[in-house]
Each structure stands twice: as structure tokens, then as C-alpha cells.
Amino acid sequence: MFDHELTSGAPLESDTQRIALGLRQRDAAVLETLVERYQCRLVRYLVSLFGRRYGVDDLVQETWLRVLERGGSYDGHYRFEPWLFRVARNIALDTMRKRPMLSLDSREGDGVPLSTASGEGSPYTLAARTQDAERLADAMQTLEPVYREALVLRFQEDLSLQEISLIVGAPVSTVASRIYRGLATLRPQLEGETA
Amino acid sequence: MNLDHHESFQRMIDQSLAGVISREKEQSLREHLSTCASCKEYLRASNRVIAGLNGFSFEVNPTLNSRVLAALRLQMQQDRAARPNRLRFLRPYTVSLKVWAALAAALSMSIVGSALLYKMATYLMVPVHFDNAQVEAGVLVFWLLPSLCAAFCLLAAPVERRGIA
């Protein structure tokens, strides 16, 4: 009945332990594997935070350098993705603080979307690969970043509410209501249309 | 059925999609959906939104991976170069070396200290009417054995509590 079910998706603990050990030892092969495995997802997450593609590549590089620097603090007791996204989010927030016109948490509820860099098309319009995605692209672009972030983490990255809560530093109930509100904003774009 | 009734089931659909619904609520939702067209439409639209979200595919700049890996390698090289070369090969053993050095120092001090104390006690034993056996026992019990115990406690303590690592 439900197309989207909560899946455990948790890798074996030995996998996370291997990652933790590799990061502690600054193992180049482990880092290379992680970059290959998570690069796309990292780009997608950072685009959801910024609502633009411009500058995301630099943040991705910055994130991996931070992973190299702070890798020892990942203990392998939980999945790697939440830890990685948390690192990326902190870097993104630092960048936004340096540019006070951009912020993430403080904009919840004020209804003002982040603007894209001048001359750059909406990353969501460019990335839409299905008809429904095309219909959602504009709404995704104008959706407030905190809602967009919650939707992407839940439905694209398949993270649990607890994991998202760790990433965004907000209670699970807040994360849940962000998801409800995000879905409520996007739903009218597809309601009444035939699939 | 009134509007509030549907709204409560639609809230349950949201909870189910977010992954925070209880088994009992989900069961009651399943039963409701089998008879309610509007809530079924709400669920269908929500699932289409989720499917739509997965219809976005961001292409990664083809040079990004190599750029990132090059930056990581450079950083690792710089970090290695920044470490002092002196005794680098000994670094993994630094903690245990410190402990053994401390033990050696403690043992030396115990033995030398005991000898000095014994020498001093032999001068003092005449006025206090002690004999040799009493002085030797006193030095052994009150000086040598406690100091040896203290020295070997260094080895018995867990690494993180040795205080010198």
C-alpha cells in the first residue's frame, strides 16, 4: 500500500567499523572509496541546503578535507552518512555565516527562498529527469531550505528521523513537522494530475 | 465522516511516510484507506511527490572526484611533512617507552635511596639502641618494599591513567 516504507538500510557494523578504522588511520584507499561512494549524495544534499549549484563543488572538497581532519571522531557505531552530512552541514552553515544574507535555520517560516547566483538556472529544473520531477522543480526551488533539507534527507537519502535529527540538531518532532510541511507544500503541484 | 476525521487520517499518512507511526495507527489507517477515496488520493499524491523527489538526478562534475582526491593526498603529504622527523619510527612506542623509563627511574631511586637510608640509619642506631637486624627490617619494610610497589604500580595502571602518557 505504501510506496515508501521505512527501510533499515543499515550497513553491517563491520562496514562502519572498517570506515572508522580507515579514517582513524587516515587510510587513503578508504577515503578514496568513501569519495566514490558518497560524492553524488553529498552534492545532492548540499544543493538542497543552498538551493543552487554554484559553489557546491568547493563545499564538497572542503567537506572531505574536514573528514580527513576529524575522521578520528567517527566511532563507527552508527551509519557513516549522518556523520558525513553533519560535517557538510556545519561547513555550509559556516559559509552562510560569512555571507549573512544567506542562512538556513533562521529563515524557517519567513517564506523567503534563497536566491540562486545570477545567471544560474534552477538546479532542480536542470536535474529533473521525470515528468513529476519537472512539475516539482519550481516548488523545490522556492521551498524553504529547512523543509527541502528534511525532505531530501528522509526520502532521497533514506535516513531515519533520528538520524536527520542528529544532522540538523533539532528534535525529532521538529524534523517530522518539517517533513509534513514540505510534503504539504509540494503536494498541490501534483494533485489532480494523472500519473 | 466529517472533515476532522479525514484530517486525522491524513496526518497519519504523513506520519507513516515520515516513519513515525505506531503499528496500531497504521492498522487503523489501512482499514480507513480501503474505504475512503479522498484519503487514498491524498496518499497517492504524497507518494507521487516522493517519487518525484527521486526523479532529480544531479550530475557530479566529472573532474570533482579527482580534484577532491588530489586535495586529500596533498593534505596528507603536508600533514606528514609537518610532523617532526626525530624519532618518528618510535612514535607508536612512545607511551610504553615513557612508562619503562619511569619504572627504571623509580627502581634506581628505590635502590639508591634505600642504600642511603640504610647508611644514615646505621649512624643513628647507636643512640637509639637499635641493632643491625632492626635497621635492615625497618629499611626493608618502611622504605624499599613501598617504593618498589609504587614503581611497579606504574605498569599495573591502565595506559590512560598513568599520567605520563
CATH code, domain carrying A171: 1.10.1740.10
Burial (Cβ within 10 Å: 0-12, 13-18, ≥19) of residue A124: buried
Asked if the C-beta of A139 comes within 8 angstroms of chain B's C-beta atoms, the answer is no
Looking at residue B84, what is its pLDDT? 65
Asked if the C-beta of A170 comes within 8 angstroms of chain B's C-beta atoms, the answer is no
Among partner residues B58, B60, B75, which is closest to A123 by beta-carbon distance?
B58
* Pair A92, A122: CB distance under 8 Å: no
Q: What is the pLDDT along chain A (195 residues), one digit of tens a residue?
A: 444 433 344 445 688 999 999 999 999 999 999 999 999 999 999 999 988 888 899 999 999 999 999 999 999 999 999 999 999 999 999 988 887 555 555 444 444 444 444 456 789 988 988 988 998 999 999 999 999 999 999 999 999 999 999 999 999 999 999 999 999 999 998 865 554
Looking at residue B9, what is its pLDDT? 93
Residue B150, amino acid: A
DSSP bridge partners of B56: A128
Residue A4 belongs to a domain? no
Q: Which value does ipTM take for this structure? A: 0.79
**Range in A114-118, B32-36, B126-130 with the lowest mean pLDDT:** A114-118
Q: What cell was used for B8?
A: 486525522
Please tell me which residue of chain A has the smallest CA distance to B72.
Answer: A65
Looking at residue B90, what is its pLDDT? 57
The model carries a pTM of 0.69
Residue A103, amino acid: S
Residue A91 belongs to a domain? yes
Q: Which domain holds residue A50?
A: 13-190
Distance CA B38, CA B148 (A): 84
Among partner residues B52, B69, B75, which is closest to A133 by beta-carbon distance?
B52
Residue A142 belongs to a domain? yes
Distance CA B154, CA A131 (A): 71
Instruction: Dump pLDDT digits (tens) for B55-67.
Output: 999 888 899 999 9
For chain A, the domain total comes to 1
* Pair A85, A67: CB distance under 8 Å: no
> Binning pLDDT at 50, 70 and 90, where does residue B42 land?
very high
Distance CA B107, CA A182 (A): 70
Q: Between A172-190 and A131-142, two packed helices, what is the crossing angle to 10 degrees?
A: 130
Half-sphere exposure of A168 toward its Cβ, with a 13 Å CA cutoff?
Answer: 32
